[in-house]
Amino acid sequence: MLSTLGKRVAARLPHGWQQALKRRHFQRQIAGNSFLTDEPEWELSSRWLAPGDWAIDVGANIGHYTKRFSDLVGAGGRVIAFEPVPATFELLSANAAQFPLPNVTLLNLAASDATRILGMSIPDFNTGLKNYYEAAITAAASGLQVMTCAIDALNLAGPVRMLKIDAEGHDAVVVRGAIKLIAANLPTIVMESGSGEVKESLESLGYRMESVAGSSNVIYRHPSR
């Protein structure tokens, strides 16, 4: 990765140049099998997904989990990836085009509990670059407007076995909009939130909350899985 000085220089480049540099960087990682994350759940997902399964990646960003899921579910499976920020979605699309299997469906939407238009805030790193990893839905007026959609509105027919949610504080709303799918499929759920609303909703379906050492995420698993 770039040094701090390099990032400060990159922040002064036109947006198109920044995107081109990122695309080349991620393409090299994908080709070299180093396109991954150090989150424990990334590795553990092999326990929860098998060939032919479906998986949903909410807040896919540039696609680390999307690729992992794609590899695990194989040609007979399907990955649905939500990423609402246009600049990040551009990189996700470029990365997905390099994946070995064409089993990914990309949605330039924010998963939520209804179809509407909402604002998104994108903070800055101290280098001046945009911190797209922490882009978040906001009720305040925002220059970036994105469309939202409930997962249940998609009426997915596949055997959804895993749901990863990284929605920067919007997690409970995502669960609210996917509760029918969750009840029908009982997928393993990995998310940042252990909020009371999420815990109550999922425990009412028989889910149990777990944690993994070294991770800030929580895992909800159903005993039947």
Torsion sign, CA atoms 138, 129, 105, 57: negative
Q: What is the pTM of this model?
A: 0.89
Distance CA 29, CA 107 (A): 23
Query: Which of 123, 167, 131, 161 shows the shortest CA–CA distance to 148?
Result: 167
Report the pLDDT value the prediction gives residue 70, as an integer from 0 to 100: 98
Question: pLDDT tens across 145-204, in order?
Answer: 899 999 999 999 889 999 999 987 789 999 999 999 999 999 999 998 768 899 999 999
Output the CA–CA distances (angstroms, integers) from residue 153 to 45, 111, 112, 174, in the order listed: 25, 10, 10, 12
Distance CA 150, CA 116 (A): 10
Report the pLDDT value the prediction gives residue 216, as an integer from 0 to 100: 87
Specify the 3-state DSSP secondary structure of 34: coil
Specify the 3-state DSSP secondary structure of 56: strand
Classify domain 36-221 by CATH architecture.
3-Layer(aba) Sandwich (3.40)
Alpha helices in the chain (DSSP H): 4-11, 15-31, 40-44, 64-73, 86-96, 171-176, 179-185, 196-203
Report the pLDDT value the prediction gives residue 193, as an integer from 0 to 100: 72
Distance CA 23, CA 101 (A): 19
- Ramachandran area for residue 27 (φ above 0: left; ψ -120 to 50: alpha; else beta): alpha
Distance CA 81, CA 56 (A): 6
Report the pLDDT value the prediction gives residue 7, as an integer from 0 to 100: 66
| Per-domain boundaries in the chain | 36-221
Q: By 3-state DSSP, what share of the chain in percent is helix, strand and coil, each rounded to 5? A: 35, 25, 40
**Low-confidence stretches of the chain (pLDDT beneath 50):** none
Query: Which of 178, 170, 109, 174 shows the shortest CA–CA distance to 138?
Result: 170
